[in-house]
Every structure is written in structure tokens, then in C-alpha cells.
Amino acid sequence: MDTPIKRYPAKEHHQPVERICRTLELRDDPELIAEYRRRHSQAAIWPEIPAGIREAGILEMEIYLLGTRLFMIVEVPVGFDWDAAMERLASLPRQQEWEDYMGIFQLVKPGSTATEKWQPMERIFHLYD
């Protein structure tokens, strides 16, 4: 039997946007992965985290999971300065505390920032002109 295709709505931003795609590997432990998922739920995520992401100028952020592989899609205004935004984000309350806590679940060096953890992905195909 085929697995049903999951579909996710795309938010309209009413301005030109760019996507940034990054990836990260989780530790291969089903209990840790389940807890990582739970910690990213609306009910469990620390409110300072999505607030800080928005404050840094990010319009939308989605994280997808397959096995131990995370895939993050970030939508930002055209011309967005990623490095400056990540520097700003790292300075916000509880951000490094969150990164340190998430490091328990991730295959990363202790004390890594979000930028150090999430590796850029290269787009190798697109359909539109």
C-alpha cells in the first residue's frame, strides 16, 4: 500500500521572497528523535525561539524530518543578509540556551550556533523559469 502524499500549505508573503535550504543530522535514537519532535511542537517550543526568528527578519521557517535527516526551508525577503540575521539571532535571549539544549539531539559539536549546525544545501534542479 502506498503512503498518502502529505501536503503543506505555502504562506503568501505579498512580497518577493527567497528560500534558503539547510540540513542537519539527528542522533540515531528513536526516543531522542521523538523528544526533538515534541520540543518543536507549538505546545512545547519556548516562545522566545519563534519570536527571535521573526525578530531576525525571517518570514517563514519549516523543518522536515526523514529518519535522522532534518531539512529546513527558510523564506526571507529578497536581498536578506543571512549572516547579519544569524548574528542578531544568536544574541537574543535564550537562543544559545536553546541551541545547546537541541545539541543533545543533534550530531553537532557542543556549543555550536544555529549557523554552524545547519549546513547549506545546494539546489540542483528547479522546474520554473
Contacts of 52 (CB under 8 A, 6+ apart): 89, 92, 93, 94, 95
Q: How far is CA 86 from the centre of its chain?
A: 12
- Burial label for 52, CB within 10 Å (0-12, 13-18, 19+), is buried
Q: How far is CA 89 from CA 18, 23, 52, 129, in A?
A: 19, 18, 6, 33
Cβ neighbours around 6 below 10 Å, total: 6
Can you list the domains of the chain with their CATH numbers? 22-120 (3.30.70.100)
Per-residue pLDDT tens for 37-80?
A: 999 999 999 999 999 999 999 999 999 999 999 999 999 999 99
Per-residue pLDDT tens for 4-14?
A: 899 998 889 99
